[in-house]
Amino acid sequence: MRHSLALWVSLSLLSACGGSDPVATPEPEPPVPTVPEINSAQAIPGKLVQSSAASFERYLKNGIYSRSAGNGVDSTDNPPPVPTLEFGEGSGDRSFSQTNTAEAGVDEADRIEYNGDFLFIATQPVWNGTQMSSPGVRVMQRNADFSMSQVNDIAVESDNANINGMYLYQDNLSVVSSGYPFMTLMDIATTSLFAPHGGWRNSVEVNFFDVSTPAEASEINEISVDGWLVASRRIGQYVYLVTAYNPYVELPHPYPEDDAQRIANYQYLQSVAMTDLMPDIRVNGVASEMNAPEDCYIPEQATEADGYANLITVTRINVNQSQDVQSICMSTYADISYMSTESLYLAAHLDDGMALHKIDVAEQFSYAASGEVSGYLWGRDGTPQLRMSEADGYFRIVTSQWTDEGPVHQLSVLQQDADALQLVAQLPNDEQPEAIGKPNEDIYAVRFIQDRAYIVTFERIDPLYVIDLSSPTAPFVAGALEVPGFSSYLHPLDNGYLLGVGQDVEEMDLPGTGETPRTIPVTTGVKVSLFDVSDPANPTELSSVSFEDTYTPVEYDYKALSVLQTGSQYQFAMPLEAWLETEVEGDTGSGDEAETTTIWMPHNSLLMLDVNANSGAGDMQVVNRMTVENDPEAYVWSGEDRSVIHGENVFYVHGNQVWHSLWADSAEVTGPY
């Protein structure tokens, strides 16, 4: 929808009287303003450029006005869901496991951190009937016998109720928290939801603690950024925050009903100072602007009639020097990110595909390039960030688009050329026309490992595709394997082995479909598979284990998987949850004998697996399934369950409590601590 451009029109009216009276020249009427011509508020794909402060101000205010005028409010003006935040520095050869990560050297915020002697646990909020508990960090000391003792309970002074995750670097513990306000439907309908000065203000906070003496941990710095969290990462001493911000303006007419009210809104916007529209950063409570308008990026293709009110800010914080904070400001949209040790990529779902923006984090912290691909990252796989990867200067991404014939999947390879991400290869193509996945199959897992990509598609059976990327500009499907069930997460091992975690599947008859019944695939429980992909043309499943009526959070959050590698031997631990019928005794209240009632109760356990990844000798064995007690009065969500493997010992974190056991069959379980 477009409105006519504001015009200032002066009319000269002439009137004549009889006789010799002079011609009267009337006073000019004041100009009549009309509604400004502003395009619909939407993110514009393509390159970003730094322009003048005036250009950025016009673009930002145009976006705010267009949204308030009901001028095609784009859904991207609403906060994206906080993504499931990401993995640590790999397994490597060490004596204890650390957070599972997508890229070696790129840490991802997690609710636990362990340094071999102390375990830090970000506590989950607990409702006591009247209020929610404040966020905090339990500090548990590992004793000589591997029992646990709490030595501290760090209070996190934050406006946010939930801790998104933590980073442990040397003696610095960084606690990242963010939150969303509670809003009524009327609040949601207002011009903007998040106000930096009055109204709703959303923020992302990082509290830095000195944990050189964990029992006496002290806060050394606190940084708060306006906006909501898209993602965070850590490389070395630098923590990176990707935040989205929507400027708040209390317009005279939040719901303009006619042109006069729209004009009043537009004119009021022109009087608003840019300092009131830009996000602030607060260091130990002292506020300052993160970026000047002339330092922010807008789309190169933007015209004077375009505008967009969403700002993406990438902030880099040196955890060792509180004043070393840098940020990059872009008027664009992003809802998924991927980071290598060289680059940060921001991806945004638009109407006709994906917009991509690359930030250089290796040589200099700066905007680098932009590009586009067709299709989308959303699918059945719960970890869309694993659909992206960078290697040797090439960016690889797997996208899907939905047609009348069902989903169509493609792998795209892009390379930076000046400030553009150019498409250099795609699969399928004219020379390699074979589709990725059979008809109607959706993608359930993707994993890039060096010069290969592994893609799991599924409708009734699991095809595992192996794609050769050794020549980045000429990828091809090297092989495929069909097995029952599907993998939702793939983990690389040495010597061409691959661990898959997902669900087993069986065909069930649809009732009432005649003598030859139709069948549908039904998931039956967790399935873990060991694949040999050393010969990409002939991938094989060496072994698998299944657990009926269970699920594991590893299927959608790989941080729930613990990995400890010693040479070519691997230890894996993953939480399982099953809902089983349980008999409980209850008081009838009449003094009669207690009655037994059957109810459904969660049963939580930690699966322990040994994997031999020696070349030609791949094997997987179940070691134990450590079961913990649940409070019958309160349900604890298993999605945040974590574990730590320390040699022949294992710790299981369920809720805010910790259990310990040995890495052995039927070993005694101690706790909770």
Average pLDDT over residues 361-368: 93
Residue written as tokens 């590992």?
142
Supply the mean pLDDT for the chain.
Answer: 85
- The model's pTM: 0.87
The yes-or-no verdict on residue 536 having pLDDT over 50 is yes
Tell me, what's the pLDDT at 37? 86
Give percent of the chain with pLDDT exceeding 70: 85
pLDDT at residue 190, as a whole number: 38
Of the candidate ranges 142-156, 178-192, 233-247, 416-430, the one whose mean pLDDT is the lowest: 178-192
Lowest mean pLDDT among 521-530, 537-546, 646-655: 521-530
Helix and strand element counts for the chain (H, E): 3, 40
Residue partners of 439: CB distance under 8 A and separation at least 6: 405, 406
Rounded mean pLDDT, 310-339: 93
**Mean pLDDT confidence for 13-22:** 45
Between 522 and 581, the more confident residue is 522
Does the pLDDT of residue 644 top 90, yes or no?
Answer: yes
pLDDT of residue 325: 95
Q: What residue ranges in 10-65 does DSSP mark as E strands?
A: 48-50
Which residue would you say has higher pLDDT here, 627 or 91? 627
Residues ≥6 apart with Cβ < 8 Å to 473? 413, 424, 425
- pLDDT value at residue 485: 87
Lowest mean pLDDT among 1-15, 143-157, 305-319: 1-15
Query: CB neighbours of 207 closer than 8 A, spacing ≥ 6?
Result: 156, 157, 158, 174, 175, 177, 219, 221, 222
Place of tokens 């040995």: 662
Question: Which pLDDT tens digit goes with each residue over 172-207?
Answer: 999 999 875 433 333 333 334 343 333 346 899 999
Which two structure tokens, joined as six digits, stand for 494?
């040495």
The b-or-e profile of 357-375 (16+ CB within 10 A means b, else e) is: bbbbbeeebebbbbbbbeb
- Rounded to whole angstroms, the Cα distance separating 66 from 54 reads 18
Sorted by where each begins, the domain ranges of the chain are: 376-483, 503-673
Distance (Å, rounded) from C-alpha 361 to C-alpha 106? 12
pLDDT digit string, tens, across residues 240-268: 999 999 998 999 998 888 889 999 999 99
Least confidently predicted of 40-49, 142-151, 290-299, 312-321: 40-49
So what's the pLDDT on residue 613? 96
